[in-house]
Amino acid sequence: MLQITQLNKSYENHKALTDVSLSVPKGVIFGLLGPNGAGKTTLIRIINQIIEQDSGTVELDGKPLSPEDIKKIGYLPEERGLYKKMKVWDQLVYFARLKGLSQDEAKRQIKSWLEKLEIASWRDKKIEDLSKGMAQKIQFISTVVHRPSLLILDEPFSGFDPVNAEIIKNEILELKKNGTTVILSTHRMESVELLCDQIAMINRSRKILDGTIREVKSSFRPEVFQISLARIKRDLPMEWIANNQGDIWDFTLPLSGRMPNQLLNELMEFGEVMEFREQIPSMEEIFIHQVKSTSHE
């Protein structure tokens, strides 16, 4: 769907993107992660043709980006806003038409979205009379109203209360089901684990990690197991530092070169294995670990 190759972009006194290559397959939710100032916004702006790269290519559906592709992309920037004095309806029609929809098509789409999100009664209200969460819903509609095949959402959940965030999350999942590709840029790792199929992590202008969630996680396995033993037959070695609650003993052990089954066999000698689970890091832990390790180079 989206193929980014060797993208470079520098500003006057710093490099925003260094040789960044990404491949976003069709129909996935692709998480774009990275701390502030890493280069995510620059990358997103290049995909949106707001700015131009210094070198490298961006291809959409196998062809280099062209002005016609604006219609195929829906963009919800992190810093977003609406015309405060404009009515909801007029505003949505304006944004839809700027994306290239005809007047009739724009009206039809907006009508169905307003009904879908159960906010049809707001159509003649001005944005300044709406709450922040309400305005965010309008903003979301303006992003998807032209049925983009690529949706770029920068921190889409900021400003939403949990109820509305859930509504938007479900809308995103439904769009994905209908074949829309979504790039989700966020710091909120819990939404990454819930929503994303694939991720790429950017730090200090470089891509430092990418792959499916499962791949990323397995490559960051510390090879440590969480173990619970019951009905101890022998004394446990001192270095295991086990805590007991009644006759249940909890502790962690690294593989230290053994295969998991070997470790399990060893454990069975000491008692009944109640729990034997590999410790898998959360995306948040990977994120923090990666950012720290690449920032101190």
Partner 1 sequence: MNKIFLVIQREYLSRVKKKSFLIATLLTPLIFPAIMGVFVWIAMSEKENQSLRIIEVIDETDLFFMESSEQYAFTSSVDDPEEAKQMVQEGDRYGFLHIPKIDLANPQGIQFYGVENPSLSLMGYLESALKRKIEDQKLYQLGIDPKVLKEIRTDISIQSITLGEQGEEKVNDATVNYALGFISGILIYVFIFVYGNQIMQGVIEEKSSRIVEILVSSLKPFQLMMGKIVGIGAVGLTQFLIWVLLIGTLSTVVMGVLGMQMPQQQAMELANPEFAQATPDAGEVATILQVINGIDFVTLVFSFIIYFLGGYLLYGALFAAVGSAVDAPSDAQQFMFPITIPLIVAYMGLFVFVLQDPTSSASFWLSIIPLTSPIAMMGRISYGVPFWELALSMGLLVLGFLFTTWLAGKIYRIGILMHGTKPTYRILWKWIKASQ
Residues binding partner 1 (CB under 8 A) = 12, 45, 48-52, 70, 73, 75, 77, 79-86, 94-95, 97-99, 142-143
Q: Write down the least CB distance from residue 249 to partner 1, Å.
A: 55
Nearer to partner 1, 94 or 220 (CB): 94
96 vs 199, beta carbon nearer partner 1? 96
81 vs 162, beta carbon nearer partner 1:
81
Helix (H, G, I), strand (E, B) or coil at 186: coil
98 or 194, CB closer to partner 1?
A: 98
Closest approach of partner 1 to the CB of residue 113, in Å: 16
Q: Is the dihedral of CA 99, 103, 108, 112 positive or negative?
A: positive
For helices 88-98 and 132-144, the axis angle rounded to 10 degrees is 30
Please say which residue, 109 or 228, places its beta carbon nearer to partner 1. Answer: 109
Smallest separation (angstroms) from partner 1 to the CB of 30: 18
Q: How far is CA 95 from CA 40, 86, 137, 270, in A?
A: 24, 12, 14, 68
Give the nearer residue to partner 1 in terms of CB position, either 85 or 296.
85
Q: Which is nearer to partner 1, 51 or 268 (CB)?
A: 51
Report, in Å, the least distance between residue 53 CB and partner 1.
9
Give least dist CB 108 to partner 1, A.
18
Q: At what angle do helices 103-116 and 88-98 cross, to 10 degrees?
A: 130
C-alpha count within 13 angstroms, C-beta hemisphere, residue 253: 26
**Token reading at 167:** 């509504």
Can you read off the two tokens belonging to residue 217?
Answer: 């996680």
Choose between 50 and 268: whose C-beta lies nearer to partner 1: 50
DSSP state of 38: S
The two tokens of residue 280 are: 């898998």
Least distance to partner 1, CB of residue 98, Å: 4
Least Å distance between CB 59 and partner 1?
Answer: 18
Q: Can you list the alpha helix ranges (DSSP code H) found in the chain?
A: 40-47, 88-98, 103-116, 132-144, 162-177, 189-195, 213-219, 260-268, 283-295
Sheet of 150-154: strand order equals: 73-76, 150-154, 181-185, 29-33, 198-203, 206-212
Neighbours of 202 (CB within 10 A): 27
140: alpha, beta or left? (left if phi > 0; alpha if psi -120 to 50) = alpha
